[in-house]
Every structure is written in C-alpha cells, then in structure tokens.
Copies of this chain bind each other. A is one copy, B any other.
Amino acid sequence: PAGINPNYFPAKLWRLVNSPLFRSVRWDDRGEVLLVDQALFESEVLGAGQGPHFFQTKNFSSFIRQLNLYGFHKLVQELAGGEEGSEDEIDVVNDFSGPLLQFHNPNFRRDRPDLLSHLIRLTSGNKAKLAAGQEVTSRPARQIQ
C-alpha cells in the first residue's frame, strides 16, 4: 500500500497475509482477524533457507512481540458452542492443520489498506504522545522520486 514503509513490520505483515504463497498467515472469513498457524509459520516464514526472508529472527515469540508492539491482541478460540456463527468458528479453527492463533487490530483489515498508516509502534514515547492527544505517525518510506 502507498504511504507506508515497506521495510517495516506492518507492511511485511500485510504482504504475508495477502500472499497466496504463504498459507500460515491468513484472514478470517470476514477479513477482520489475522489467523496464524504457528508450526507452519515457523517453517515457511522463519525457517532456514526461505527465499524472501521476511524477518531476521527464528523465534516465533519475536513475531508475537511485534504484533503486540503494533497493537494486535490475541483472541481466544471460541470453539463449537456459540449461539450464532459457530460454524464459522469451527471452520476457522480446524481448517487444514494445527490450531490457528487469532489476532485482532482495528487498523488491520483486509478491505482497508488505508488504515495501515495508523499502525504505530507502541513504545512508551509514542504512548505518551497518544495520551497527550498528539498525532503519531510512522517514519515514512524514503521515496526515490
């Protein structure tokens, strides 16, 4: 998407979730929740010898730290028991391999790439600025032209 730095975590996550080449990171049916298959992610994204190595780490926990730093929150898997929409949840969880971790961020939605610029790193400094009502933006990409 335009306007955000392609080298930073939000842009990388966006490319991952929208890439058909990576099955470990996907959208839920509504395009509002990030689904992650940890085992598959570790092999196809963090594993050795992966061509376009997205991240420098091999530890899944570092990926989780990034998600939290950018304001994502984990959703617990509501399995088989709700009133409405329980079928979807079953599908979501048992899709193809291991259980899927679910993360949510109001500024990370499939149909709203324009919101990506609102994903900021929640450092203590940035949080103080936000509390003071100031705008916080990520460092923009260095455009050639």
Binding site for B on A (CB under 8 A): 6-7, 15-16, 18-19, 21-22, 30, 32-33, 51-52, 54, 56-57, 61, 73-83, 86, 94, 104, 142, 144
Contact = CB atoms under 8 A, between A and B. Distances in A.
A54 B76 CA distance: 11
B104 A80 contact: no
Contacts of A54: 79, 81
Dominant SS among interface residues on chain A: loop
Given A56-B56, A142-B104, A144-B33, A19 B81 contact: yes
A118 to B, nearest CB: 17
B19 A82 contact: yes
B52 A83 contact: no
Given A61-B61, A73-B142, A104-B144, A15 B56 contact: no
A52 B76 contact: no
